[in-house]
C-alpha cells in the first residue's frame, strides 16, 4: 500500500515503496511525468526542481519527459535496439573488473561515465571535470535545500555543468541523462560488487547473474504527478498529487529487475537488458582474474 502525506495547499504526496504498489501505480494512465498545472506549494517546488535541472536547452531529458512528449517513445526504442548490439570494449571491462576485484586502476566515477558515454560518442573521454559536472547535476535534481539552490542560481554552476556535458554529446538528451544521472546507479552497483567480492568466498562465491542481481542499484526515487482523480487498490490520488516511487527500497526487498527498470511500463529504461549484462560480464572478468 502507498503512504499518503497531505496538508491542504502545502503538500499532497503518495509514496510507494513496495514492489506491488509501484507496479500498480506505474501502470496507471492518469500518472505522468512533468510539472502539474495546479498543485500544492511543496509539490510544485519539487516538480519544478526536477524539470529545471533535467533539461537541455529547454527540452526535458527523457527521464523527465511526459509520456506523450513528441519522439520520446521512438527514441527510447531506438536506443534500446542499439544497446542490444553494443558490448563494452575489453579495456573498459577490464578496468571495471579490476575495481570490483579490489585492484584500482582509475577512479570509478569517471571510468563508469566514460564506459556509458562511449555508447553515444565513440571517442568520449571522461575527466574529473565531466564527472564533477555529473555529480552536481544529480545533486541539484535531488536537493530541496533552498540555500544551495540560491547559490547555484547565483553562480550559474548547474547551467555550466549541463553545458559542459551537453557539448560533449551534441546536446543529445538521452546521452546527457545517461552520463549525468543514470551513471550514478551504475557506480553504486559496482561499489556493491566490490564489497560483495571482498566478503568471505570472494568473487567465485556467486555466479555473474547472481552478483548482478544482488548488486544492481535502482534510482532511489522517481516522480509522477496525477493528471486526474483516481483510486487504485494501492492508493488514491487527486489532480496534482505527486507520486513518489521508491524504486531502490522496493528492489532491495525483492531483487525485482522489473521494478528497478520499470520494464512493464511506458517509461521503461532502454538499458534494462544492457545493464545487468554489463554487471554480469564485469563480475565474470573479476572472477577470472582474481588472485588465488
For 247, phi then psi, to 5°, come to: -65, -40
Count, residues in the chain: 292
Contact 77, 272 (CB under 8 A): no
Comparing every residue's Cβ against ligand HEM, the nearest one is 269
Residues 6+ apart with CB under 8 A from 139: none
Which CB sits closer to ligand HEM, 116 or 164?
116
Interface with ligand HEM by CB under 6 A: which range of 5-13, 151-159, 176-184, 196-204? 176-184
Please tell me whether residue 126 binds ligand HEM under the rule CB under 6 A: no
Residues 6+ apart with CB under 8 A from 101: 194, 197, 203, 286, 289, 290, 291
Closest approach of ligand HEM to the CB of residue 98, in Å: 20
Please tell me whether residue 186 binds ligand HEM under the rule CB under 6 A: yes
Contact 243, 16 (CB under 8 A): yes
Which CB sits closer to ligand HEM, 39 or 267?
267
d(C-alpha 257, C-alpha 272), whole Å? 8
d(C-alpha 289, C-alpha 281), whole Å? 12
Identified binder of ligand HEM from the candidate list 177, 211, 235, 283, rule CB under 6 A: 177
Nearest Cα to Cα of residue 276 among 219, 230, 214: 214
Which CB sits closer to ligand HEM, 197 or 219?
219
Please tell me whether residue 76 binds ligand HEM under the rule CB under 6 A: yes
Please tell me whether residue 226 binds ligand HEM under the rule CB under 6 A: no
Closest approach of ligand HEM to the CB of residue 134, in Å: 12
The arrangement of strands across the sheet holding 242-245 comes to 3-7, 11-16, 242-245, 222-226, 31-32
Which CB sits closer to ligand HEM, 252 or 290?
252
Identified binder of ligand HEM from the candidate list 36, 40, 60, 62, rule CB under 6 A: 62
Please tell me whether residue 72 binds ligand HEM under the rule CB under 6 A: yes
Site string for ligand HEM, 261-290 (x = CB under 6 A): xx----x-xxx---x---------------
Which CB sits closer to ligand HEM, 54 or 98?
54
Exposed/middle/buried for 60, CB within 10 Å: 0-12, 13-18, 19+? buried
Exposed/middle/buried for 269, CB within 10 Å: 0-12, 13-18, 19+? buried
Residues that bind ligand HEM (CB under 6 A): 62-63, 72, 76, 79, 116, 119, 174, 177-178, 182, 185-186, 189, 216-219, 222, 247, 260-262, 267, 269-271, 275
Amino acid at each position: 500500500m502507498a503512504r499518503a502525506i497531505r496538508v491542504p495547499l502545502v503538500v499532497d504526496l503518495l509514496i510507494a515503496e513496495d514492489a506491488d504498489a509501484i507496479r500498480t501505480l506505474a501502470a496507471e494512465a492518469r500518472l505522468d511525468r512533468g510539472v502539474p498545472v495546479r498543485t500544492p506549494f511543496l509539490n510544485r517546488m519539487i516538480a519544478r526542481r526536477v524539470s529545471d535541472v533535467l533539461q537541455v536547452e529547454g527540452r526535458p531529458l527523457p527521464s523527465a519527459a511526459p509520456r506523450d512528449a513528441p519522439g520520446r517513445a521512438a527514441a527510447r526504442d531506438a536506443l534500446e535496439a542499439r544497446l542490444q548490439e553494443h558490448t563494452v570494449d575489453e579495456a573498459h571491462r577490464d578496468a571495471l573488473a579490476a575495481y570490483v576485484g579490489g585492484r584500482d586502476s582509475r577512479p570509478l566515477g569517471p571510468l563508469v561515465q566514460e564506459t556509458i558515454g562511449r555508447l553515444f560518442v565513440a571517442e568520449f573521454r571522461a575527466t574529473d571535470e565531466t564527472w564533477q559536472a555529473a555529480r552536481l547535476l544529480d545533486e541539484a535534481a535531488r536537493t530541496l535545500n533552498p540555500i544551495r539552490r540560491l547559490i547555484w542560481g547565483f553562480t550559474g554552476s548547474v547551467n555550466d555543468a549541463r553545458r559542459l556535458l551537453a557539448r560533449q554529446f551534441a546536446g543529445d538528451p538521452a546521452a546527457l541523462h545517461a552520463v549525468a544521472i543514470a551513471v550514478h546507479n551504475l557506480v553504486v552497483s559496482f561499489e556493491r560488487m566490490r564489497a560483495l567480492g571482498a566478503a568471505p568466498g570472494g568473487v567465485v562465491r556467486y555466479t555473474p547473474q547472481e552478483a548482478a542481481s544482488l548488486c544492481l542499484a535502482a534510482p532511489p526515487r522517481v516522480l509522477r504527478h496525477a493528471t486526474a482523480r483516481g483510486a487504485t487498490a494501492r492508493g488514491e490520488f487527486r489532480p496534482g498529487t505527486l507520486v513518489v516511487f521508491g524504486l531502490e527500497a522496493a528492489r532491495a526487498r525483492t531483487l525485482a529487475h522489473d521494478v528497478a527498470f520499470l520494464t512493464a511500463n511506458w517509461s521503461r529504461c532502454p538499458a534494462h537488458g544492457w545493464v545487468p549484462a554489463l554487471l554480469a560480464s564485469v563480475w565474470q572478468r573479476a572472477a577470472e582474474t582474481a588472485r588465488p
